[in-house]
Amino acid sequence: MRSDLRVVSVAAWCPWHDYADSRIVGASIREAIEASDCAAARSASGSLSQRIHDNHAAEAGLFTISGEFYRQVDLRVLELWEGGRFDEFVAMLPEYAATCHGEGLMHDTAMLIGALGWDAYHGSAEIITPWFPSSGTGQVNAVFPLAA
């Protein structure tokens, strides 16, 4: 086990906070990383449509999305991310989180995008795995590169 690794774990179930709070948390983490002399990686999980199937439908819906609307919105979000259009994404984030049942109201995403620069981030997300459904939810693996 390496003793020189430093980990900050943040739970993002914050329905009583607003997105400005989560953005500030992300920006603060970025400031701390930039002020240090270490390399860092940040990760977030759980922030596309999350309308998980009801218990009685879970097994039959294991590899499905819970509705076409959720798939379409997720795909649009990925287009925005790939196009570096984070100003548009953060403008829709609260409604996207509420309407598409975002896990933890997508505060993890707000923290991640806050760490990237919020609406001033214009990097293009690299989609590692294409969008896929699982148990009613939308899934993807993506990298958000920073300028060197």
Q: What's the pTM?
A: 0.88
pLDDT by residue (tens digit) across 72-120? Answer: 999 999 999 999 999 999 999 999 999 999 888 898 899 999 999 999 9
Tell me, what's the pLDDT at 47?
A: 76
As a whole number of angstroms, the distance between CA 26 and CA 126 comes to 20
Percent helix / strand / coil, the chain, rounded to 5: 45, 10, 45
Long-range contacts of 25-34 (CB under 8 A, 24+ apart): 25/111, 25/114, 26/110, 26/111, 26/112, 26/113, 26/114, 26/115, 26/116, 26/118, 27/114, 27/115, 27/118, 29/111, 29/115, 30/114, 30/115, 30/116, 30/117
pLDDT value of position 127:
96
Domains of the chain: 19-143 (3.40.830.10)
Q: How far apart are CA 77 and CA 58, in angstroms?
A: 25
pLDDT tens, position by position, 24-79: 999 999 999 889 888 888 877 767 999 988 888 878 888 999 999 999 999 999 99
